[in-house]
């Protein structure tokens, strides 16, 4: 079973594409291995900051509207 070759009509097309993409993947994989944990950290920070911003934004809107009234034009 393992010795049999499977006929693939697209082998002539896919092999050159793989020859091009493999070196690109070899370069990008280590970069992604570094960037992915950093993105996880940023995502967790954003998960903490978003609820705080949801509380602070309305307060800032109120302060702005008060300043618009009090500030001379």
To the question of pTM greater than 0.85 for the whole model, the response is no
> Residue 12: its pLDDT value, please?
76
Over 50: is that where the pLDDT of 62 sits?
yes
Over 90: is that where the pLDDT of 26 sits?
yes
Domain extent listing, the chain: 18-72
Over 80: is that where the pLDDT of 31 sits?
yes
Mean pLDDT of the chain: 88
CA-CA distance, 73 to 14, in Å (whole number)?
Answer: 69
CA-CA distance, 6 to 69, in Å (whole number)?
Answer: 79
CA atoms within 13 A on the CB side of 55: 4
């Amino acid at each position: 079973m393992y010795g049999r070759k499977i006929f693939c009509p697209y082998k002539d097309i896919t092999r050159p594409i793989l020859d091009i993409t493999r070196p690109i993947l070899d370069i990008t994989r280590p970069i992604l291995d570094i960037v992915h944990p950093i993105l996880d950290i940023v995502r967790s920070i954003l998960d903490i900051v978003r609820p705080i911003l949801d509380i602070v934004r309305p307060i800032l809107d109120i302060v702005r509207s008060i300043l618009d009234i009090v500030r001379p034009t």
